[in-house]
Amino acid sequence: MRIHGKVAVIAVCFGLFLLLYFWGGNGAEDPLPKQVAGEEKKEVGNSSPSPSVIGRDVAAKFSKKPSAGVVSRTEETPERRKEAKASGRGGDVKGNAARPAGRRRRPAEVMHLAVVACGDRLEETLTMIKSALLFSLKRITFHIFAEDPLAPQFRERLDQWPRFISARFQYTIYPITFSVGNAEEWKKLFKPCAAQRLFLPVILRDVDSLLYVDTDVLFLRPMDDIWSLFRSFNATQLAAMAPEHEVPKIGWYSRFARHPFYGVTGVNSGVMLMNLTRIRSAAFKNSMIPARLSWEDLLHPLYQKYKNHITWGDQDLLNIIFHDNPECLFIFPCQWNYRPDHCMYGSNCRGAEKDGVSILHGNRGVYHDDKQPAFKVVYDAIRDFPFEDNMFHSLFYPIQTKFLDTVNTLCGRIPQVFLKQIEKTLRKVFEEKVVRHIRLHK
C-alpha cells in the first residue's frame, strides 16, 4: 500500500508540473493581440491614420519575428474589429474624425453625361435628360453646353423637377466655346454648335470619363449599362462609338465619303464614350505631318485640310482621326445607337432584334414629324410622362398601345425591338428601387 501511495503522489505531482508548464507556455503568446490593439489605439489617438496605414505599421513591427508556420491576419481578429469601432467613434469635432479601421464603403460612383444644345433644342434635350434619370440607377452629373439664351431656361426647368428626382443628379451649364480656330466657323460646321463635342477634353479637364450624346437621344435602359463598357476598353482604346451602318451597300460613308473614315462603314458620333484622361495624354497619328499631335493641336489643322470634303461636320473629323488611329477606338453594337437607318430600309440591326433597343437616336428630325411614327411614339411618351406616375401604367402601356398605329411602317412592324428593353428595364428598376427597398426595411 505504501508503495502504491508513493506512486500515486509522484503521478499527481508530475501531472501538476505538466499542467503548469503548458499553461505558462501558452500564456506567453497571449499578449500579442492586446499589444497590437494597444499600439493601434496609440496611433489613432495621435494622428488618425487610415486603416491601410495602420495595417502596414503593424505588419512592419511584427514581421521581424514571425512565428513558424503561422500566417498573421491580425487585422481581421474580433479584437481588432472592436478596437476599430471604438476608435471610429471618437475624433476631432472640426472634421478630422478618426477613421474606423474596419472596411469602409466606397463612395457611390457618379456617371458623367455631356450634351450640346443650341437653337430650338431645349425641349428635346430635357426629354433626353429625363429618359436618363427615369431608367438609370447611379447618380448622374450632366454637363450641358448651351447658347446664352438657353442657359436660364435650362435652370428654370430643371429646378422645377420634383425633389426625389433632383436628388439623383447635378448639372453644370457651360457657354459654347472653342479653344482653337474661328469660333463662328466651328459653330456653323454642321448642326448648330455640334462641333463643341470635339473640345470636351480641353474644357472638362477635371473629368476623367463621360458619355456624350446628341440632344435627340433617348435612353431605354439604364445609362449604367453603357457606362460599364468603359471596363471593356483595352490599354490603347480611349473612345467608343457604334458603326454608322451595318450594311456597306446602303451605308453613307461607304458610298459617298470623299475623305478617310473608320472601318468599312464609318462610325456615328451621336452616342460616344470618351475617356478624357486618355484623350488628353495621347499623341495621334495624322496625314498632315510625320510627327504625332495632341488632340487639341490636331483639330484645327485637320479641319483646314478637309473642310471642303466633309458633309457631317465633327462626325467626319472623328472618322478621319480614328481612321488614322484605329487602335484607339472601341466599337459597341448598333442597339446602343439605334437610328431610323436601322429599320427604314428593312431591319438591319441584329443586336436590337435579339435584345431590343438600348439607346434610341431619333436623327433626321423623326421625333417632330410623321415620317417615322415609331420613334415619335416613344419620344412623346417620355416627354409627357409625369415623374410621380407609375411607369408601367403611364409610360410602358401607352407606348405599347400607340404602337398599334405604326404597324403599317417599316420601323413600326417590329415593335418588340422598341419595347423589349423598356419592359425589361422597368422590371429591373422596380426590383432595385421597390422590392429591394422593402426587403431592407423589414
- Residues 159-181: what's their mean pLDDT? 93
Q: Which residue has the higher pLDDT, 51 or 165?
A: 165
Phi, psi of 84 (to 5 degrees): -65, -45
Amino acid identity, position 187? K
* DSSP annotation of 395: I
Interior angle at CA 394, CA 390 and CA 399, nearest 5: 135
Burial status of residue 193 (CB atoms within 10 A of its CB: 0-12, 13-18, 19 or more): buried
pLDDT tens digits along 391-440? 999 999 999 999 999 989 999 999 999 999 999 988 877 776 665 556 66
Residue 72 lies in a domain: no
Give percent of the chain with pLDDT exceeding 90: 61
Does the pTM exceed 0.85?
Answer: no
Average pLDDT over residues 58-84: 36
**pLDDT for res 126:** 98
Place of cell 454637363: 143
Q: Find how far residue 211's CA is from the centre of its chain.
A: 8
Question: Cell numbers at residue 35, please?
Answer: 499589444
pLDDT of residue 440: 60
The pLDDT value recorded for residue 15 is 57
| Three cell numbers, residue 161 | 423637377
Please check whether residues 189 and 299 belong to one and the same domain: yes
What is the H or E stretch that residue 171 is in? strand 169-174
305 belongs to a structural domain: yes
In a domain? residue 320: yes
Domain shared by 283 and 399, yes or no: no
Provide the pLDDT confidence category of residue 328 given band limits of 50, 70 and 90.
Answer: very high
Most confidently modeled of 54-58, 78-82, 325-329?
325-329
Grid coordinates 486603416 are at which residue?
Answer: 51
The C-alpha cell that represents 300 in the structure block? 484645327
Question: What pLDDT is attached to residue 71?
Answer: 31
Mean pLDDT (the chain, rounded): 80
Q: In CATH, what number is assigned to the domain containing residue 290?
A: 3.90.550.10
Segment (H or E) for 212: strand 209-213
CA distance 33 to 135: 49
* Predicted confidence band of residue 168 (pLDDT cuts 50, 70, 90): very high
CB hemisphere CA count around 156 (13 angstroms):
7
Tell whether the model's pLDDT for residue 268 goes beyond 90: yes
Q: Are residues 131 and 222 in the same domain?
A: yes
pLDDT in tens, 363-397: 989 999 999 999 999 999 999 999 999 999 999 99
Residue 182 has a pLDDT of 76
pLDDT digits (tens, 9 = 90+) for 231-248: 999 999 999 999 999 988
Domain holding 204, by residue range, is 111-332
Which residues fall within 8 angstroms of residue 24, CB to CB, at 6 or more apart?
A: none
Residue 255 lies in a domain: yes
Q: What kind and span of H or E run contains 172?
A: strand 169-174
The tally of domains found in the chain comes to 2
Environment class of residue 229 by beta-carbon count within 10 Å: exposed (0-12), middle (13-18) or buried (19+)?
middle
- The reported pLDDT for the residue numbered 355 is 95
Can you say how many angstroms the Cα of residue 289 is from the centroid of all Cα atoms in its chain? Answer: 36
Both 123 and 271 in one domain: the answer is yes
Between residues 333 and 183, the one the model is more confident about: 333
Alpha-carbon distance of 174 to 153, in angstroms, equals 13
Residues with Cβ within 8 Å of 261's Cβ and at least 6 positions away in sequence, in order, are 253, 267, 316, 319, 320, 323
Percent of the chain residues topping a pLDDT of 70 = 73
What is the rounded distance in angstroms from the CA atom of residue 71 to the CA atom of residue 382?
58
Does the residue 70 lie in any domain?
Answer: no
Question: Do 324 and 208 reside in the same domain of the chain?
Answer: yes
Domain end marker among 332, 359, 381? 332
